[in-house]
């Protein structure tokens, strides 16, 4: 069977609060650390051609990595923290990428992985509606990671659009690394799961409430 493209898109909060207590530094580190495991996940799912992109949002949103990049060629350039939390702008930007075209008509479900530490400062629900209005947006595998106690859990839950799924909540650097790795590998495996009888049969923990078991050995709490 020919490989089908699997588009993995990071949506990364780069607001000013991400610069507090080294959160943005740890985010850069965590994504870089996850790359080998993303490559391994792609190798374990030979029917999928894993293509990675990234959007950052602060005052507005922009493509940090615009071209769908094969994971074997994927490298990470650091992002930086500044300004506000315009999640709606990021969602509207990704909604344009999920239309057909530019998305192919025949592909595996895309993965949307949102990472945020606070409250959106723009009309994020209009952006979410734009994502849901696209066929690929409605079918996407979604992962949400909330950093620290100030992360908007209700927003993250609404982004997931699955009452049985919970956001991943992280409170220190070790948990962030674990969450990024989890999102990078489990989401890819889920999106690669074959369709059975017209419905996608999920065999990974993504269709249940995820739990991170990371021992707290004195890392700073966010």
Evaluated on CA atoms 181, 143, 109, 68, the torsion sign reads negative
**Contact assessment for residue 51 and residue 67, using Cβ atoms and an 8 Å cutoff:** no
The CA distances from residue 49 to 71, 73, 203, in Å, are: 8, 12, 20
For 201, the 3-state DSSP assignment is: coil
Domain membership flag for residue 217 = no
**Contact assessment for residue 13 and residue 118, using Cβ atoms and an 8 Å cutoff:** yes
**Contact assessment for residue 92 and residue 126, using Cβ atoms and an 8 Å cutoff:** yes
Domain membership flag for residue 213 = no
**Contact assessment for residue 72 and residue 46, using Cβ atoms and an 8 Å cutoff:** no
pLDDT, residue 101, reads 94
Q: Which residues of 132-157 are buried (b: 16+ CB within 10 A; e: fewer)?
A: eebebbeebbbbbbbbbeebbeebbb
Domain membership flag for residue 75 = yes
In tens, the pLDDT along 32-91 reads 999 999 999 999 999 999 999 999 999 999 999 999 999 999 999 999 999 999 999 999
Q: What CATH number is given to the structural domain containing 191? A: 3.40.50.410
Domain of residue 134, residue span: 4-207
Domain membership flag for residue 190 = yes
Domain membership flag for residue 216 = no
CA distance 7 to 123: 25
**Contact assessment for residue 112 and residue 130, using Cβ atoms and an 8 Å cutoff:** no
Domain membership flag for residue 64 = yes
Identify the CA nearest to 54 among candidates 212, 191, 184, 210: 184
Residue 216 predicted with pLDDT over 70: no
Question: Can you state the percent helix, strand and coil of the chain, rounding each to 5?
Answer: 40, 25, 35
Domain membership flag for residue 67 = yes
In tens, the pLDDT along 122-178 reads 999 999 999 999 999 999 999 999 999 999 999 999 999 999 999 999 999 999 999
The pairing of strands 168-170 and 141-147 is parallel
Total-model pTM: 0.90
The angle subtended at Cα 206 by Cα 72 and Cα 170, nearest 5°, is 85
Domain count within the chain:
1
Average pLDDT over residues 213-220: 55
Domain membership flag for residue 221 = no
The pairing of strands 60-70 and 48-58 is antiparallel
């Amino acid at each position: 069977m020919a490989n089908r493209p699997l588009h993995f898109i990071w949506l990364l909060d780069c607001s000013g609060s991400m610069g507090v207590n080294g959160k943005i530094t740890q985010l850069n580190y965590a994504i870089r650390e996850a790359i080998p495991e993303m490559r391994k996940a792609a190798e374990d799912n030979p029917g999928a051609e894993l293509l990675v992109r990234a959007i950052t949002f602060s005052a507005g949103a922009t493509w940090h990595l615009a071209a769908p990049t094969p994971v074997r060629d994927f490298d990470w350039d650091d992002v930086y923290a500044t300004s506000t939390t315009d999640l709606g702008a990021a969602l509207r930007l990704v909604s344009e990428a999920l239309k057909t075209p530019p998305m192919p008509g025949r592909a595996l479900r895309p993965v949307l992985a949102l990472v945020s530490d606070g409250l959106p400062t723009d009309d994020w629900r209009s952006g979410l509606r734009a994502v849901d209005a696209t066929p690929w947006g409605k079918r996407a595998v979604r992962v949400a990671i909330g950093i620290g106690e100030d992360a908007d859990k209700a927003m993250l839950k609404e982004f997931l659009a699955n009452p049985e799924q919970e956001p991943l909540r992280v409170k220190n650097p070790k948990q962030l690394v674990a969450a990024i790795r989890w999102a990078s590998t489990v989401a890819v495996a889920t999106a690669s799961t074959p369709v059975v009888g017209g419905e996608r049969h999920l065999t990974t923990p993504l269709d249940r409430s995820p739990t991170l078991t990371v021992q707290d050995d004195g890392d700073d709490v966010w």
